[in-house]
Structure 1
Amino acid sequence: MDASGVEVTGRAQRAAWRERSVPAVERVRPGLWSVPVPMGGPLRWVNAHVLELAGGGLGLVDTGWDADDSWAALCAGLAGIGAGVRDVRGVLVTHMHMDHVGLAGRVREASGAWVAMHPADARDLTAFTARSPEESTEVEVAFLVGLGAPEPDARADAGTPEERARWRRLALPDRLLEDGDRADLPGWSLRAVHTPGHTAGHLCFADEATGLFFAGDHVLPRISPNVSTHAGGAADPLRDYLSSLERVAGEEAGEVLPGHEWRFRGLAGRARELRAHHERRLAELLAAVRAHPGSTPWDLAAHLTWSRPWSQYERRMRIFAVTETDAHLRLLVTRGLVVGDGARVPRYAAAHLR
């Protein structure tokens, strides 16, 4: 256990992370397994959690990325516990991102399972999938230009309509879960906990019988989840996220099962660490605004500390960085520390406080 009170319980998961591999399927508790579903990028895999249901069948919390190798891994993982996709009765989606909802449609087609998510993410996902790939691309380009990106850079980062075509296959939900609702998974007492920030409709699930807390991407043990702005999204997503962290810190969670990385104990301690991280980030950004008044979010992102040199950022990584910078700027505005000029492409300066 570290100084914050966080204790690693998913030791095999963390060992695989350090070895740059993917862990094996793991029995977490009687009737509960963690199935790692590989994905591209630095996160490497998604933890799909499989729950054995009273009376037969399985429930899933998240599914993994929509790719053939991810589908094969999910099917193999279920086979490894003596089951199959056809046994799935319901899918709980913590949030609408591709790596969590991506395979839900294939699971539903193979099993007839229902898919559930929060209404806010259902609305955003419906709007997103309703756009043509061409329209979706133009919406993102326009949003990035509105944050100060030169149009050629915005187009290079947004990608092509062909690359976006598969996003229209994402499964829309059959059921909606509001905060406090109980998931229809017999033998479990999963309560939906609305935790907006990473997405507007992000859900965690607290099982009151076992003390397990399925955290999705809201609280991860090592990294800070991306909190970003997007076209048509929440006005102040970082404020929403910090409020959600305050809320989950009060949950009586015996063990946290996140969507990435490894299981751990110490939800309140990890929530404190994440809040402190964002306060440091806000202070760094405020210093950048003071040093570079009249800058756009695109400009300011280049003056912040990232995991690698800013010149190496491109495509989705640069989009995440700039939109995360924008989210932090909006909270500084809310706190009265920074002001924007109100232009179509806003530029920011430090507020003159009395």
Structure 2
Amino acid sequence: MKQWGEIIQVPLPLPFALKMINAYIIKGSRGCTIIDTGLHTEEDLEMWKQAQTEYGWNWKDVEKIVLTHYHPDHYGLAGTLQELTGAPVYISETDKIQARIFLDRESDMPEIMADFYSKHGLDKEWTAKISGHLRSFYRWVEPHPRPSLIGAGDTIQLGDREYTVYHTPGHADGHLSFFDPERGWLIGGDFLLPKITPNISLWPRCNPNPLKTYLDTLEKMKDLPVKKVFPSHGRVFEHYRERIDELKRHHEERLQKMKEWIAQADGATAFEVCTYLFGTSLSIHNLRFALAETLAHLEYLRLSGELNRMEEKEKFVYHLS
């Protein structure tokens, strides 16, 4: 754990590729604010208890729980922590809805996702694993919180400081970041990460062009006078504008690489492009994200007129325009 003034970083273990998420506790004169929660696992609960012991606070001190977005590693313990603290949980309206679409036991999204991936070339062996894999997350996010809503332009008190709420979509449709204009500190969730690129994925029932949205978000946010970024993965960093430029170049290079390969292949499904980019030795978890990221790029190219998409033998195939 590390501390910057009143902000304490709490590293929480994850049982999949990222290995760790940074949650934060912000101490103030009226109590503490938790930013993101980790998964509902014994390991993550123990880390929160360790943070209490090391930094001198307890559940009754928590005045609010704030979520950058609905993905399980950020949202999963929110309901449990709400029960332990009695504190309100804040999230964007979009992500409140999408949490239920993706993480509610009554949702048909697991079957919709399996069919979606099948149409984009995923073979039957992998497709059969999709719905079970998605349902395996339920145990990590229950009970669901009873959330209150915040959104872009709002101000919210975190500790003893007023932060401005920014809508920073792309990684998640309702993703929020929190900016302290006095110090230039940004609590950025998965909007901007120091080393890895935030996953930009295309999902059914969500934003049809998430990569364009993310690139627009980078452009919109680049002139914000940020001096320090507190990310959800990786170290706290200061090279804010340089990192934005790096991410823009990364996506430009990937788009160009895709176009060149599709031209050479004379057409390909999203799964074939995914295999070209990410290889074949992926777990079902990593494959799901790799294919969704590939689709975000392919749909960006299609919607900008650089690719066509045709249905061939009940599969979508992308061709250079």
What's the TM-score bracket when you normalise by the shorter of the two chains? over 0.9
- Partner of 1:159, secondary structure, is helix
Tell me if the contact between 2:2 and 2:10 (Cα under 8 Å) persists in the aligned partners.
yes
**What CA distance in whole angstroms lies between the structure 2 residues aligned with 1:333 and 1:170?**
39
Pick from 26, 31, 37 the counterpart of residue 51 of structure 1: 26
Letter in structure 2 aligned against 1:349: H
Counterpart residue number, 2:236: 263
Q: Within the alignment, does 1:159 sit opposite 2:132 as a pair?
A: yes
Tell me if the contact between 2:17 and 2:286 (Cα under 8 Å) persists in the aligned partners.
no
CA shift for structure 1 position 234: 0.7
Counterpart residue number, 2:259: 286
Letter in structure 1 aligned against 2:318: Y
Please list, as runs of the form range in 1=range in 2, the aligned pairs for 1:68-83 lying within 5 A after superposition. Answer: 68-83=42-57
Counterpart residue number, 1:86: 60
Q: Within the alignment, does 1:101 sit opposite 2:75 as a pair?
A: yes
Question: C-alpha deviations, 1:139-193, integer Å up to 9, x for none?
Answer: 2211211221122211224435762432562634521111111124461111111
Counterpart residue number, 2:3: 27
**What CA distance in whole angstroms lies between the structure 2 residues aligned with 1:211 and 1:173?**
31
Tell me if the contact between 1:195 and 1:202 (Cα under 8 Å) persists in the aligned partners.
yes
Counterpart residue number, 1:318: 287
Counterpart residue number, 1:18: none
Counterpart residue number, 1:251: 224
CA shift for structure 1 position 231: 1.7
Query: Structure 1 271/289 Cα, relative in aligned 2: closer, same or farther at 3 Å?
Result: same
**What CA distance in whole angstroms lies between the structure 1 residues aligned with 2:250 and 2:134?**
36
Letter in structure 1 aligned against 2:95: D
Question: C-alpha deviations, 1:51-94, integer Å up to 9, x for none?
Answer: 1123x210011111221111111121122100112211111101
Question: C-alpha deviations, 1:211-257, integer Å up to 9, x for none?
Answer: 11011011100000110111211100000011111122111111010
Tell me if the contact between 1:39 and 1:99 (Cα under 8 Å) persists in the aligned partners.
yes
Query: Structure 1 130/45 Cα, relative in aligned 2: closer, same or farther at 3 Å?
Result: closer
Letter in structure 1 aligned against 2:248: R
Letter in structure 2 aligned against 1:50: I
Report the count of equivalent residues. Answer: 320
| RMSD (Å), alpha carbons | 1.8
**What CA distance in whole angstroms lies between the structure 2 residues aligned with 1:35 and 1:240?**
30
Identity, % of aligned positions: 28
CA shift for structure 1 position 258: 0.3
CA shift for structure 1 position 37: 1.3
**What CA distance in whole angstroms lies between the structure 1 residues aligned with 2:306 and 2:104?**
38
Counterpart residue number, 1:19: none
Q: Within the alignment, does 1:346 sit opposite 2:321 as a pair?
A: no
Tell me if the contact between 2:80 and 2:142 (Cα under 8 Å) persists in the aligned partners.
no
Please list, as runs of the form range in 1=range in 2, the aligned pairs for 1:191-340 lying within 5 A after superposition. Answer: 191-304=164-277, 306=278, 310-340=279-309
Specify every segment of 5 or more residues in structure 1 that has no aligned partner in the other structure, as ranges. 1-24
Letter in structure 2 aligned against 1:297: A
**What CA distance in whole angstroms lies between the structure 1 residues aligned with 2:99 and 2:181?**
29
Letter in structure 1 aligned against 2:83: E
Tell me if the contact between 2:77 and 2:142 (Cα under 8 Å) persists in the aligned partners.
no
CA shift for structure 1 position 131: 4.1
Q: Within the alignment, does 1:174 sit opposite 2:174 as a pair?
A: no
**What CA distance in whole angstroms lies between the structure 1 residues aligned with 2:309 and 2:134?**
32
Query: Structure 1 69/59 Cα, relative in aligned 2: closer, same or farther at 3 Å?
Result: same
**What CA distance in whole angstroms lies between the structure 1 residues aligned with 2:205 and 2:192?**
24
**What CA distance in whole angstroms lies between the structure 2 residues aligned with 1:336 and 1:280?**
18
TM-score, normalised relative to structure 2: 0.94
Query: Structure 1 325/70 Cα, relative in aligned 2: closer, same or farther at 3 Å?
Result: same
Letter in structure 1 aligned against 2:305: G
**What CA distance in whole angstroms lies between the structure 1 residues aligned with 2:198 and 2:304?**
22
TM-score, normalised relative to structure 1: 0.85
Counterpart residue number, 2:100: 126
Larger strand fraction of residues: 2
**What CA distance in whole angstroms lies between the structure 2 residues aligned with 1:160 and 1:321?**
15
CA shift for structure 1 position 345: 3.0
Tell me if the contact between 1:96 and 1:122 (Cα under 8 Å) persists in the aligned partners.
yes
Tell me if the contact between 2:52 and 2:58 (Cα under 8 Å) persists in the aligned partners.
yes
Query: Structure 1 165/213 Cα, relative in aligned 2: closer, same or farther at 3 Å?
Result: closer
